[in-house]
Each structure stands twice: as C-alpha cells, then as structure tokens.
Amino acid sequence: MRCVICGGRDIKDKEVEEEIKVGNDIIIVPVKVKVCMSCGERYYDRETMKMLEEVEEKIEKKQLKVELMGKVLKVAGV
Ligand SMILES: [Zn+2]
C-alpha cells in the first residue's frame, strides 16, 4: 500500500498509544496500527477502529479497569 498523504511506500506496523477522550478524561490505549514512516500518518484497519469503539464504550460503562498514570492539567489563565 502507499500512503495517501505523501505517497510513501514505507508503511510499517507499529505499536502506538491512542488517546480516547471520555468525558473529561483522556484514556491511553496501546494499539497496533500501520504508520507511514515518512509523514507519520496512521492507518487504522476496521478491527482496530472497532476495538477502540468497544474500549470507549466499556470505559463509559465502567467495565474496563483503567489506571491513573498522571493528570492532564490546564492552565487557568496566563
Ligand atoms: Zn506518508
């Protein structure tokens, strides 16, 4: 396959951390996706998309155990 963004042919399977936003929380999900080595574009197959949707759903229903890794902080004003 060729990258639709840059036309590069160097696309590899890579483990990345996908961020899912649930309410005010950001959940990090490790997933394997195809990544273009030239521009960094990620390609998700149907199964990965489905998996991410399921994870999101499970988190909303609190069926999945998550771990607090740190906090996302927002600057209140500069
Ligand atoms: Zn590319």
- Write the pLDDT tens digit of every residue in 4-49: 999 999 999 999 999 998 888 889 999 999 999 999 999 999 999 9
How far, CA to CA in Å, does 18 sit from each of 8, 10, 51? 23, 21, 11
pLDDT at 72 over 90: no
Phi/psi for 45 (5° steps) reads -85, 170
pLDDT of residue 48: 94
Once rounded to an integer, what is the mean pLDDT over residues 53-77?
A: 91
**How much distance in Å is there from the Cα of 4 to the middle of ligand 1?**
7
Model pLDDT, residue 12: 97
First to last CA, the chain: 46
Cα 35 to ligand 1 centre (Å): 8
pLDDT at 22: 84
Mean pLDDT of 48-59: 93
Taking a 5 Å cut-off on Cβ, the residues next to ion ligand 1 are 3, 5-6, 8, 36, 38-39, 41
- The C-alpha atoms of residue 55 and residue 74 are separated, in whole angstroms, by 25
Q: What's the 12 CA to ligand 1 centre distance in angstroms?
A: 11
The domain locations on the chain are 1-78
pLDDT reported for residue 9? 96
Backbone angles phi, psi at 68, to 5 degrees: -80, 120
* Ligand 1 center to 34 CA (angstroms): 11
- Looking up tokens 């998996």, which residue turns up? 51
- CATH code, 1-78: 3.10.20.860
